């Protein structure tokens, strides 16, 4: 009969306990890993690939779903710039500042090396929209115009702007109204801090009707600023990564400008799609593990929201996977 060895039994128990602890630690490590907010984005890609419907649309074949949402923390300077592929955040920021200033001409972006709007500002594309009077790169009353001069009559170059002569409405500066309210402790908790780019009266004058159509700002706990954005059409591989970064940057900027703290960005989506030419790229992206999101600092508070420059923004510790190139479809 084998002699019972208490010491050997204790060693086995200790080894078993150690193994169980390792398993437990691995489980909790994986749970923590999958809490990373970027998995919201990767999971939606997976959902589109597995459950989306193929549709022939205005500009090509897409695989799409309808209706989804994500939310991203902006606390402590965090900025959700996707890490599973390199995101050109400076390009995104330049476009955002162009929106904020109410600009509509793509030449201004081209001079800064930004080519997001080139296809939509081409002669061929403008003519396809019936905008024969527009010079190339004039995009009409798109986002920035609606943010800063909502519904002001728009005249292309060569047409007479009779606004001042005939006393036509100068439009509504939605962004400045929101800033004024957020700077006022009595108004900042209003549930009416809404800015819309969707203007049915002027859609026919826009090179491209807005995809991100509305946002709402909200303050909780005295100084925590959040932004909710609604997007009707989401090019999920190329566009949504920019939209997440852009509205997060906007929220951080407005918080800084108004003496508040950026808290959260909430993103609601309508038609969420992958273009046919992005399917393989999307399959590659979902195999990558996200890195921690970077943080943002804005160097100073300017008197006017129009005065901020790219140099005023600094992104810290942006670690990312390699870029995945896919051609944009206009």
Whether 201 is catalytic is: no
What rounded mean pLDDT belongs to the chain? 91
Query: Which of 74 and 16 is assigned the larger pLDDT?
Result: 74
Is the confidence at residue 91, as pLDDT, over 50?
yes
pTM, to two decimals = 0.88
Look at residue 28 in the predicted model and tell me its pLDDT. Answer: 44
Q: Of 92, 211, 227, 234, which residue is the catalytic one?
A: 211
Query: 71, 288 in Cβ contact below 8 A?
Result: no
Cα–Cα dist 180/166, whole Å: 29
Look at residue 272 in the predicted model and tell me its pLDDT. Answer: 98
Look at residue 330 in the predicted model and tell me its pLDDT. Answer: 78
Look at residue 60 in the predicted model and tell me its pLDDT. Answer: 87
What residues does each domain of the chain span?
37-316
β-pair type (224-235, 261-275): parallel
Summarize pLDDT for 50-70 with one digit per residue, the tens: 999 999 988 889 999 999 999
The pLDDT confidence band at residue 158, using thresholds 50, 70 and 90, is: low
Which residues, 6+ apart, have CB-to-CB distance to 172 below 8 Å? 149, 150, 151
Q: What is the mean pLDDT of residues 228-257?
A: 98
Is the confidence at residue 162, as pLDDT, over 50?
no
Domain topology for 37-316: Thymidylate Synthase; Chain A (3.30.572)
The backbone torsions φ and ψ at residue 230, rounded to the nearest 5 degrees and listed phi first, read -115, 130
Rama region for 299: left / alpha / beta (φ>0; ψ in -120 to 50; rest):
alpha
The pLDDT confidence band at residue 193, using thresholds 50, 70 and 90, is: very high
């Amino acid at each position: 009969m084998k002699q019972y060895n208490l010491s050997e039994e204790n060693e086995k128990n200790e080894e078993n306990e150690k193994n169980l602890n390792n398993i437990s630690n691995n489980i909790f490590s994986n749970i923590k890993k999958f809490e990373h907010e970027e998995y919201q984005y990767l999971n939606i890609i997976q959902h589109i690939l597995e459950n989306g419907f193929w549709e022939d649309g205005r500009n090509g074949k897409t695989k799409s779903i309808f209706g989804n949402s994500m939310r991203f923390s902006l606390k402590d300077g965090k900025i959700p710039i996707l890490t599973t592929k390199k995101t050109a955040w400076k390009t995104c920021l330049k476009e955002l500042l162009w929106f904020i200033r109410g600009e509509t001409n793509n030449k201004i972006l081209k001079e800064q090396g930004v080519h997001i709007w080139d296809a939509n500002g081409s002669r061929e594309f403008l003519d396809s929209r019936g905008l024969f009077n527009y010079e190339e790169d004039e995009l009409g009353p798109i986002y920035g115009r609606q943010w800063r001069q909502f519904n002001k009559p728009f005249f292309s170059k060569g047409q007479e702007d009779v606004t001042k002569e005939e006393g036509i409405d100068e439009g509504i500066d939605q962004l400045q109204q929101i800033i004024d309210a957020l700077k006022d402790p009595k108004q900042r908790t209003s549930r009416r801090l809404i800015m819309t780019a969707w203007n049915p009266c002027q859609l026919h004058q826009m090179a491209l009707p807005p995809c991100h159509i509305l946002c709402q700002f909200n303050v909780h706990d005295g100084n925590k600023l959040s932004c909710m954005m609604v997007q009707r059409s989401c090019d999920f591989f190329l566009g949504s990564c920019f939209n997440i970064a852009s509205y997060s940057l906007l929220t951080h900027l407005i918080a800084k400008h108004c003496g508040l703290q950026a808290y959260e960005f909430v993103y609601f989506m309508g038609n969420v799609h992958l273009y046919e030419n992005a399917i393989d790229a999307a399959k590659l992206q979902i195999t990558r593990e996200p890195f921690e999101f970077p943080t943002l600092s804005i160097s100073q508070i300017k008197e006017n929201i129009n005065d901020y420059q790219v140099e005023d923004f600094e992104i810290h510790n942006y670690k990312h996977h390699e870029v995945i190139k896919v051609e944009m479809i206009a």
